Structure 1
Amino acid sequence: MSDPFLELERVHVWRGEEAEVAALDDVSLSFRQGESVAILGPNGSGKSTLLQLLVGGLRPEVRDESYCRLFGEERWCIDELRERIGVVMPEEVARFDPEELAFDVVLTAFRGAYGRVRTMRFSKTERIAASRAVDRLGIGHLVNREFGALSSGERRRFLIARALAPDPGVLVLDEPSTALDFAAATELSDILRELIRDGHTLVLVTHHPGEIPPEIERVVMLKEGRVHADGPARTWLTSEHLSGLFGLPLRARWSGGWCHVRGAS
């Protein structure tokens, strides 16, 4: 078995300093390198909090017999994690100046910045790595365009290239198809499937079962801050279990390795 990159044991995280409801309540999970996982759940289920634990942005409540380990460590440096975990979030689009060159968006991954300033210098090795990531996403012809002039799908590809440029061991994608039209979402899905087939470890955070590609065989369902289910996608992505997760009657149908879900009425 490969080494775990995330280990949670009875983890508890509050929504705020004076919150009465936990964002994560007694959660135990383990994700291993080489294993791609989908985290599925409705809004407010704890997906975003789990993601923040995964990327080192949050620390859980300190309790006996409880721990949160990233790559085997309970203490970590954000700069070091940035090299090991690539993250793509929809809100990152708005963090860049629309006039930023698309290629500079990718380069800033090496500085943990959301914009290039004049004093930033990048090595030949970093530029080559950024170019390889861009070429892999099929957007090399767009590198000299302004980021804001690109389509939503093209901007999302550059963000993925940005996450891949430092060659991380794990790639985390939070609601990757948000704000994309059908064509762009389909193209993005093809990219994710190719990344998994090429050996990348993906963590896909979503509230749409239909976004989970066939290459992701494990699904973790979250509901009200707890693990509702954890195991093979084929076992848990069913009408019964999805209806219980989302709290309404749903009908699931499998076709071509995909789970298609619609209302049961």
Structure 2
Amino acid sequence: MHEPFLEIRNATVWRGDTPALKNFSLTLRHGESVAILGPNGAGKSTLLKVLTGEVRPEANPDTICRLFGEDLWSLEELRHRIGVVMPEDVARFHPEELAYDVVLSSLRGAFGRTRDMRFSRAEKAAADQAIARLGITALAQRDFGTLSSGERRRFLIARALVHDPSVLVLDEPSTALDFAASLSLVSALRELAVAGHTLVLVTHHPGEIPPEIDRAILLERGTVLADGPKRKVLSPRTLGGLFGLPLAVSWSGGWCTVKPA
């Protein structure tokens, strides 16, 4: 069995006066991609902040929270081990920033503004490789603001991959994308999974979970409602109870389709 990169046991994380995660336990391992689903307020965003080291659970003798086997960590170190793609990151870059510089700036922990920075040949080669993996080399010298939503999202994924992280976290990656762009993005994610990347996909939509991801985790009100093989977890009864709707679930080629019953 692969080593865990996230171990949480009996953790409580507060958001103001409200526990966003309550007595929460979860283990994520290298080599096993997962999809995390749940309605708004289920705790998905808080879990991501724990995973990326932004927040820590409440101190408690019974609580365990380890990232890559460590109880203490630095954000700088995690930046090299976890690649993160958030929909809101698109707005962090000036429209006239070169798409290539969007990727390069990750090497300095910055968002753009690379014109006064210096990069080694090895760093530029890493950016070139990440861009090539997403099939967007021909767009690298375009202004970021002239790209389509799907193209910009691909550059954000390349930006997350430039450090060659062992884990890639994607929060609602298809948000604001049209149908064609969503299909193209999912195709890119499938290629990354096949290439051996460990993906953590956070989504509202069971239908965008690619066949290469077999484990699904459902969150409800700060707890794990279900965790296991997606064909078992994404059942009409469990999904219907989670979202409060009568649902019908069908499967084809590893893809899940959910419709009103």
Which TM-score bucket, shorter chain as reference? Answer: over 0.9
1:32 to 2:29 alignment: yes
Cα distance in 2 between the residues matched to 1:245 and 1:229: 10
Amino acid at match of 2:202: V
Cα distance in 2 between the residues matched to 1:238 and 1:259: 10
- TM-score with structure 1 length normalisation? 0.97
Shift of 1:119: 3.3
Cα distance in 2 between the residues matched to 1:261 and 1:136: 31
Q: Which residue of 1 aligns with 2:243?
A: 246
1:80 to 2:40 alignment: no
Cα distance in 2 between the residues matched to 1:121 and 1:67: 41
Deviations 1:209-240 (A, max 9, x none): 11111111101100011000010001011111
Shift of 1:256: 1.5
Which of 162, 168, 172 in structure 2 is aligned with 1:175?
172
1:112 to 2:109 alignment: yes
Alignment of 1:9-158 (within 5 A): 9-16=9-16, 19=17, 21-158=18-155
Cα distance in 2 between the residues matched to 1:182 and 1:153: 10
Deviations 1:37-94 (A, max 9, x none): 1011011100000011001111111112102100011111101100000000000000
Shift of 1:185: 0.2
Deviations 1:132-153 (A, max 9, x none): 1111111101111110110000
Cα distance in 2 between the residues matched to 1:186 and 1:177: 9
- Supply the RMSD in Å over aligned alpha carbons: 0.8
Q: Secondary structure at the match of 2:164?
A: coil
- Structure 2: state its 5+ residue gaps: none
- Please tell me whether the aligned partners of residues 82 and 167 of structure 2 are also in contact (alpha carbons under 8 angstroms): yes
The alignment covers a number of residue pairs equal to 261
Report sequence identity in percent. Answer: 65
Amino acid at match of 1:200: H
